[in-house]
Amino acid sequence: MRWGKYFAALLAAAIASVKVAASAPSSAAFTYDRTTFYLHGSPYVIIGGQMDPQRVPAPYWRDRLAKARAMGLNTIFSYVYWNLLEPSPGEWNNDKGKSADISGISNDVAAFFRIAQEEGLNVILRPGPYICGEREWGGFPAWLAKVSGMRVRSSNALFMEAAEKYLVRLAADLADLQVTRGGPLLMVQVENEYGSYGEDHAYTTGLRDILRANFEVPLYTNDGGVDWTLAGGEVPEVLAEIDGDPWSGFAARDKYITNESELGPLMDGEYYTLAPDFWGADNVHNTTVGRPSQIAQFVTDLDHVLGANNSISLYMFHGGTNFGFSNGAIWKNFTASFTTSYDYGSPLDESGRTNELYFTLRDTILKYVPPETVPEPPENLPRLEIPAFELAPWTGLFDTLGKPMVSKTPVTMEELGQAYGLILYEHTARTTVKGVLQPGDRARDRVIVYVNGVKKGVIDSTYSRPAQVSVSLLPGDNLQLLVENLGRVDYWSRESGTFVALEDPYKGILGDVTVGSRALEGWKIYCLPLEAPPSSAGNQTRLPRTEAGSPPVFYRATFDMDMDAEDDTDPALLDTFLAVPDGVKGNVWVNGFNLGRYWIIGPQQSLYLPGTVLKPVGANEVVILELEPRVDTLSVFGAAEREWGNYPDPDYP
């Protein structure tokens, strides 16, 4: 097969708007009784797996879904991200009828569901409005934080109004894909693990009523399998299901859910194939490689569920990637920030390749389904190696600043209408001041401190005890605080003792900046959303400094694919893992697409670069924003196999 033709077929199928013939609505298309789901009248055991379309380039959707079907799955569970679908109030960005950009990332959830159906899969929708998912603010759009009086995940009228508009608009996109109309959509989840958060049943029943008015298929809830989470999350007349350990969870569901209108077949809606990764010098990559006992436990649990004709969804079947600034964080009385990679140790890895876990789980599932109905897995697409090349300093971040907002005191990102990226606060001292610097109530999230263009230290909220940085300012000295949003909290640990983190999404600086006991007044504030790197057409007047302690620098270079003229492999199908071995921390853009963050501390040491981003012919531009430059050039290479590892944090020796 010529890979070029295969790629064209993938791309066309992924982004085309294929009209699904709608049959007359049938409320009996997917039903259940106390013990069994029924699809068109026949018993149906849900053998599912989670894959979120907005984390995966659209040209690869069919390949990933075909591999799901070939593992024996019959259903795909999908979160959808409100913040990508409605990036600003009233702006609906579903990409319908549009070609995906060079990255292939698309919000056309309907197209994803159509492809799933074509590959023999049904789907279950998890629309939120809150989805957790280790995603930035649990999928909430950042603009919600700017609405005065808004209280998320509650029956607050402002939030309910915004959530209803979102859900109604999403339902309109997906209406004809419901199983009642001949489509693959079987069920819709009400909120997400709400019982772990609160007990505002007016909120969850309100969501139930919105979803009932806009969908024809059954609804369900998904909560942890203990008494208090089930009590908080149950919704009358909505099927109650659990996640986590199926052994204790199933028993808890049947013990603590007593309302008959909430009872039905048992389903583990999130059976964890492993776990996501956090940035940290001591946080190793989560993987089943070299852990046979963990794989054996997965097999035992699958046998337990499927052997009793109960249903399950593997979370994640395929994790994908937190491209750009889209990762979330957990609040543990410090900010535990998730990596760019959402590999999750899944049976289909971040780049969509099958692995040992995939085939072990496939063998287990095939014991419970007719083997002749399950196709053989498609071949994994080849990977590309890119020889090392050098990026030269191009321009300083502080040389790209636009017009500042001037304020007596600092204001947050959200007050300035900025959602993601970095923000710079600049103060010119009018008097002598000396002491420990405090950036508002706390670091939100990582603050690099400069005096007269020289780095003095880093205050980093990913540590339970962020470093203290002392400064000494004389009249005329320039204090700069570069603040990075490392991802809004999407969840919290119970050990933190507070739920406030989700209701406190503010980034930048909240409150006064003090040095010693003195609050500093008079600030210039520069928004740095970094939606794209600086244009290469801009005039460069001087080379930026790159020695240790210098402000951030953009590095730039181009490379050609340099494919053999006789090679019929389409380079647009060749993924690679881009490594920046000399970098400390920053972001990488390839042909204008933000691959995400890198950080020397690990565990992630390379960034997934989908072949969809690369240009088959001509120059491919690589731009790196290195936040802590220390070398004159940055070396970059693309590897066929990814690197995981941890190194000491140079800012916290």
Catalytic residues: 193, 270
CB 319 within 8 A of CB 311: no
What's the one-letter identity of residue 524? K
**DSSP E strand stretches across 485-552:** 489-492, 513-515, 518-519, 523-528
Write out the two tokens for 310: 């109960």
Distance set, CA 346 to CA 285, 320, 385 (Å): 12, 10, 23
What is the distance between the alpha carbons of residues 368 and 165, in angstroms, rounded to a whole number? 42
Comparing CA positions, the residue from 154, 129, 254 lying closest to residue 241 is 254
What angle, 0 to 180 degrees and rounded to 10, lies between the N-to-C axes of helices 109-118 and 157-174?
Answer: 40
Q: Which residues contact 403 (CB under 8 A, 6 or more apart)?
A: none
Write out the two tokens for 519: 């609050």
What is the distance between the alpha carbons of residues 340 and 278, in angstroms, rounded to a whole number? 9
CB 513 within 8 A of CB 483: no
CB 125 within 8 A of CB 187: yes
Write out the two tokens for 15: 């982004």
Comparing CA positions, the residue from 374, 357, 364, 255 lying closest to residue 304 is 364
Comparing CA positions, the residue from 56, 165, 179, 50 lying closest to residue 108 is 56
Tell me which DSSP letter residue 468 carries. Answer: P
Residue 364's H or E segment, with its range, is helix 356-365
Residue keyed to tokens 């939606």: 531
Comparing CA positions, the residue from 216, 219, 197 lying closest to residue 131 is 197
What is the distance between the alpha carbons of residues 650 and 582, in angstroms, rounded to a whole number? 13
What is the distance between the alpha carbons of residues 417 and 440, in angstroms, rounded to a whole number? 19
Tell me which DSSP letter residue 287 carries. Answer: -
Residues of the chain by 3-state class (helix, strand, coil), percent to 5: 25, 30, 45
What is the distance between the alpha carbons of residues 392 and 60, in angstroms, rounded to a whole number? 33
